[in-house]
Amino acid sequence: MKARFIQFWKKHRKLLVFLIIVLALVIAAIVRAQFGKKAADKEPKTETISRRTIVKSVTGSGKVTSVQSQDLTSDLLASPIKTVNVKVGDRVRAGQLIAQMDTSRLEASRDSLKEQIRSARQAQKETETQLAQQAAQAKQSQLQGIEEKLEEVRSRKDQAEKSLSQAQDKLKRDLETGSGADAATLAADRVQVEQSQAALTALQAQETALQAQLEALENAPSADLSSLGNAGSSVTESSISSLQNQLDQLQQQIDKGAIRASMDGLVTQVKAEAGKTYSGGTIARIEDDSSFQILATVAEADIPDVQAGMAVKVKTDATGEAELDGNVTAVAPAAGSSSSGTGLGGLGSIGGLDLGSLSGLGDLAGASSGSSSSGFTVTIALPAGNDRLRLGMNADVSIITSSAPDALSVPFESVQKAEDGSSFIEIIEHKKTGESGDKKQEEISVRRIAVTTGLEGTYYTQIVSDQVQEGMQVVVPETKSDNSVNQLLNSMGAGGGVN
């Protein structure tokens, strides 16, 4: 008998499990129906109508990040990393050395360029000295030539002065003799005087010109006489300028080998390692942890309602039940992607029955359907001064898209729909009918009041009606369960997973 039962169980295991589930759900439905019937006989659930601020919000989640951060990198690709001077958790100041690249090869090239420039300047100096010497020698040679000419002219001038004096003396003697000298002799004497005077005048002019030339040459700087070397000097200076430009560029590369922080902050990442070759990417990351923001993801269905400047309520595990105030500073113009999964595993149990524990339905209980949903990044600024926040913490945000302060409100389940589509609520009214002993006898009635709904929050909704007053008792209908046996069977498909 036992063997036959085991054989029957193995053959029809899935069918039996399915029937057990259906039976459990039917029992649960019957119990719920009986409980609901008893509850219906009682006074309906009510709540007092009151004024409150109704807010409509969009929720999302994200992480606490820094407002300002810096990823340190280097242009010196394929260079060895000489030292890394910080570790994760260190606090650094702007200008502090974070890492040092090995720039020994660049420094060797720099020193070689410096030597080339020094040699070029030395050669230029020697050339200029030679040119100056040549110019001085040329000047001295010119001075000597002029002085020799001047000496010759002065000698000839002295001779001319003597000749003029002799001619003048002869003319004077011939004139003093009276009739002793004929006219021809006197005429010849006068011609000789005139010629001697003219020769002397010419020599005096030559002397003056040579003297002026000598003085001008003596006062002229030697550089004016070295124009022949200017072209060569310009070429040398151009070469030195080119080498200096190369040196400046090389020094800039060497300076880039010192990786320094450009801001105060906290080191949150160190990806470089001393002795390794740098191939690009982040060497270290510095974040300012004195001011925080949240990068939250909001569903694409909600993002049209979100705008910069909206108030935000933020909750984190670190701050407990306390809500932090923030505000939206930016909304991403394009969506990112995130994945989510749902399945029967999320139900856990139905009516106290653990689906995952039933043989043959383990896969069903754990099954999920993956889907890709888009989300938009919203940047939320937080006030400074909260010492419980840390970078990278998870945060839940509620972005207030609209609000209605001091509004008459009721639970949104209280607002019901009439057949014509209009909204109404039911008000409990107590009418005194008499007294019996110490007890007052009252008649309870329900009055329907038409209302216009306004802003709807998470639990309460705004209502507008001139018949509604604060303090009234509004009926809150019991929420009907959406789960049913038929819905479960339909969700399992026509075969219900039974072969």
- DSSP sequence for 408-462: EEEEGGG-EE-TTS-EEEEEEEEEEEEEETTEEEEEEEEEEEEEEEEEE-SSEEE
Q: What is the pLDDT of residues 353-378, one digit of tens each?
A: 333 333 333 332 333 334 445 699 99
Confidence (pTM): 0.54
**What percent of the chain is helix, strand and coil (3-state, nearest 5)?**
40, 30, 25
pLDDT mean over 243-262: 93
Percent of the chain's residues with pLDDT above 90: 44
pLDDT recorded at residue 35: 54
Tell me the C-alpha distance between 436 and 196, whole Å: 174
Mean pLDDT of all residues belonging to the chain: 80
The CA-based diameter of the chain, rounded to the nearest angstrom, is 199
Q: Are 38 and 239 in contact (CB under 8 A)?
A: no
**CB 386: neighbour CB atoms within 10 A?**
15
Q: Are 401 and 56 in contact (CB under 8 A)?
A: yes
pLDDT recorded at residue 494: 38
Tell me the C-alpha distance between 96 and 75, whole Å: 19
Tell me the C-alpha distance between 485 and 350, whole Å: 11
pLDDT recorded at residue 497: 37
Tell me the C-alpha distance between 422 and 450, whole Å: 7
Q: Are 193 and 164 in contact (CB under 8 A)?
A: yes
pLDDT recorded at residue 32: 65
Q: Are 43 and 429 in contact (CB under 8 A)?
A: no
Just give the CATH number of 46-66+291-477: 2.40.30.170
Of all helices (H) and strands (E), which one includes residue 229?
Answer: none
Q: What is the pLDDT of residues 56-82, one digit of tens each?
A: 999 999 999 999 999 999 999 999 999
Tell me the C-alpha distance between 98 and 96, whole Å: 6
Tell me the C-alpha distance between 342 and 211, whole Å: 115
Whether pLDDT at 10 is above 70 = no
Q: Which two tokens stand for residue 267?
A: 């080191």
pLDDT recorded at residue 364: 29
Range in 171-175, 291-295, 352-356 the model is least confident about: 352-356
Distance from the first to the final alpha carbon of the chain: 25
Q: What is the pLDDT of residues 173-229, one digit of tens each?
A: 877 776 556 777 877 878 888 888 888 888 888 888 888 887 887 787 755 544 545
Whether pLDDT at 287 is above 80 = yes
Cα Rg of the chain (Å, integer): 56
Q: Are 401 and 345 in contact (CB under 8 A)?
A: no
Higher pLDDT, 248 or 143: 248
pLDDT recorded at residue 434: 58
Tell me the C-alpha distance between 51 and 409, whole Å: 6
pLDDT mean over 12-27: 77
pLDDT recorded at residue 12: 67
pLDDT recorded at residue 33: 59
pLDDT recorded at residue 346: 35
Higher pLDDT, 493 or 139: 139
Tell me the C-alpha distance between 83 and 99, whole Å: 6
Just give the CATH number of 69-100+258-287: 2.40.50.100
Model confidence band, residue 96 (pLDDT cutoffs 50, 70, 90)? very high
For the chain, the structural domain boundaries read 1-43+486-499, 46-66+291-477, 69-100+258-287, 106-251
In terms of Cβ atoms closer than 10 Å to its own Cβ (0-12, 13-18, 19+), residue 317 is exposed
Whether pLDDT at 349 is above 50 = no
Amino acid letter at 264?
Answer: D
Whether pLDDT at 36 is above 60 = no
Higher pLDDT, 150 or 67: 67
348 backbone φψ class: left, alpha, beta (φ>0; ψ -120 to 50):
left
pLDDT recorded at residue 328: 97
Beta strands in 457-495 (DSSP E): 460-464, 473-475
Model confidence band, residue 43 (pLDDT cutoffs 50, 70, 90)? low
Model confidence band, residue 402 (pLDDT cutoffs 50, 70, 90)? very high
Q: Assign a CATH topology to domain 106-251.
A: Helix Hairpins (1.10.287)
Q: What is the arrangement of strands in the sheet containing 265-270, beginning at the earlier edge strand?
A: 69-72, 284-287, 265-270, 91-92
Model confidence band, residue 451 (pLDDT cutoffs 50, 70, 90)? very high
pLDDT recorded at residue 6: 66
Tell me the C-alpha distance between 153 and 443, whole Å: 155
392 backbone φψ class: left, alpha, beta (φ>0; ψ -120 to 50):
left
